[in-house]
Amino acid sequence: MQERVHEKLSILADAAKYDVSCASSGSDRKNTNKGLGNAHPGMGICHSYTPDGRCISLLKILLTNYCIYDCAYCVSRKSNDIKRAAFTVQEVVDLTINFYRRNYIEGLFLSSGIFKDPDYTMERMVRIAKDLRTTHKFNGYIHLKAIPGASNELMQEAGMYADRLSVNLELPTEEGLKLLAPEKKRADMIQPMNYLKNEIIRLDDERKVLKKVPTFVPAGQSTQVIVGAGKETDKDIVHLASRFYQQFQLKRVYYSGYVPISNDARLPGLGNQVPMMRENRLYQADWLMRFYGFKAQELLDDTHPQLDTEVDPKLSWALRNLHLFPVDVNIADKMLIARVPGIGMNSVNKIIAARSFSALGWDQLQQLGVQINRAKYFITCKKGAMEKKDLTSEQIRRQILSQSHSKYQNLHSPQLSLF
């Protein structure tokens, strides 16, 4: 019995790991019933890190890897000759509770292959969440995949028990989807996202006038796109993300660098590198949009359809817009300082607080956490003007690059290694 659970866990964790969403934050579910677990005050915790450097926050598993679909990029596709397994409801509940009690995890992330049909699959996932919440008084974090094509009633019920629901867009472009997952349609994915968005808004409105409105996906919805499986540009991806953040009020868009899993001619073959640097740049661009006030078209447009591989997107933007600098950190508007390369949001807040006591100089900026070797080209402060005037953006770029070592250096070295 124990051995069989080990085997299932091994298969179904392995199949779930390509979903990169890991957040356990943003919920406000309190432990008010003296039960188990607490997702309040909404700060996520990473409990462990695997050798790939990714965090483990949730028990991330598939309910089953049996699937009726045959999407080329997916390891669980129907035509793939792999071991299949399916958990029972009781097994998932037991693992979640016992891992949680030992402080291994923040909760459960449950996804699934589609067996029989979407409703049949979704219904089993909802049953697990319901059992955890009601029978076991579990207040930890639950993230469920919303299965495209499942009924609105099931979606509604899922929202009552889950902290977060997500529908994966899978591929950034419709052409990509047509080529690699011909059985799936973009519209089928958008339908549940739209339903969830409307329900969240409707219940929020009700909450303003009524006292007892049940919680409904308190940590909102997110999605994931696979990067590097199709022919899409960074502009396609970032503009898509920006649109979805606005249209569906998503909490997060995740970017998953395609990990080659087959020799299908439509895809990068086995042995190709995972596009980790590209993925990293996309997350940086995403951060700039969500926290630093950048718009998608400022970062990428038709003349610059790809993110710079050498420098990060903020520096890249600043180098294209030198006419907006230098910025005087002692008087400039907060969101303008946030646009300076080498100054993160923590430093911005400290600068804004400190400058109301006295004007800041270079030493103090450095102590506050500003990366002076980057920022110096773009700011002025108490002592003196900019480091050096009249540098072209190409000169600044070279100077900054000569002082820094990219952690991805070996990935964009032109030399190919033999193995």
Pick between residue 203 and residue 276 the one whose CB is nearest to other proteins: 276
Pick between residue 235 and residue 350 the one whose CB is nearest to other proteins: 350
Minimal distance, residue 365 CB to other proteins, in Å: 9
Task: List interacting residues with other proteins (CB under 8 A).
Answer: 2, 5-6, 9-14, 16-18, 30-31, 34-38, 40, 45-56, 59-61, 95, 98-99, 101-104, 137, 257, 259-260, 274, 276, 350-351, 353-358, 360, 364, 367-368, 407
Pick between residue 16 and residue 296 the one whose CB is nearest to other proteins: 16
Pick between residue 154 and residue 219 the one whose CB is nearest to other proteins: 219
Minimal distance, residue 251 CB to other proteins, in Å: 21
Q: Please classify residue 347 by burial: count the beta carbons closer than 10 Å to its beta carbon, then call 0-12 exposed, 13-18 middle and 19+ buried.
A: buried
Minimal distance, residue 151 CB to other proteins, in Å: 31
Q: Tokens 């392995």 identify what position?
A: 14
Pick between residue 198 and residue 272 the one whose CB is nearest to other proteins: 272
Pick between residue 273 and residue 395 the one whose CB is nearest to other proteins: 273
Minimal distance, residue 41 CB to other proteins, in Å: 9
Minimal distance, residue 238 CB to other proteins, in Å: 22
Contact 62, 16 (CB under 8 A): yes
Minimal distance, residue 373 CB to other proteins, in Å: 20
Helices 89-101, 118-130: axis angle to 10 degrees equals 40
Minimal distance, residue 61 CB to other proteins, in Å: 8
Minimal distance, residue 16 CB to other proteins, in Å: 8
Pick between residue 366 and residue 392 the one whose CB is nearest to other proteins: 366
Pick between residue 4 and residue 231 the one whose CB is nearest to other proteins: 4
Pick between residue 42 and residue 305 the one whose CB is nearest to other proteins: 42
Pick between residue 6 and residue 388 the one whose CB is nearest to other proteins: 6
Q: Count CB-CB contacts under 10 A for residue 82.
A: 12
Q: Which H, E and C letters describe 126-195, residue by residue?
A: HHHHHHHHHHCCECCEEEEECCCCCCHHHHHHHHHHCCEEECCCECCCHHHHHHHCCCCCHHHHHHHHHH
Question: Alpha-carbon distance 342 to 328, whole Å?
Answer: 14
Q: Which H, E and C letters describe the chain, residue by residue?
A: CHHHHHHHHHHHHHHHCCCCCCCCCCCCCCCCCCCECCCCCCCCCCCEECCCCCEECEEEEECECCCCCCCCCCCCCCCCCCCCCECCHHHHHHHHHHHHHCCCCCEEEEECCCCCCHHHHHHHHHHHHHHHHHHCCECCEEEEECCCCCCHHHHHHHHHHCCEEECCCECCCHHHHHHHCCCCCHHHHHHHHHHHHHHHHHHHHHHHHCCCCCCCCCCCEEEEEEECCCCCCHHHHHHHHHHHHHHHCCCEEEEEECCCCCCCCCCCCCCCCCCHHHHHHHHHHHHHHHHCCCCHHHHCCCCCCCCCCCCCHHHHHHHHCHHHCCEECCCCCHHHHCCCCCCCHHHHHHHHHHCCCCCCCHHHHHHCCCCHHHHCCCEECCCCCCCCCCCCHHHHHHHHHHHCCCCCHHHCCCCCCCC
Minimal distance, residue 175 CB to other proteins, in Å: 26
Minimal distance, residue 200 CB to other proteins, in Å: 26
Minimal distance, residue 170 CB to other proteins, in Å: 18
Pick between residue 38 and residue 156 the one whose CB is nearest to other proteins: 38
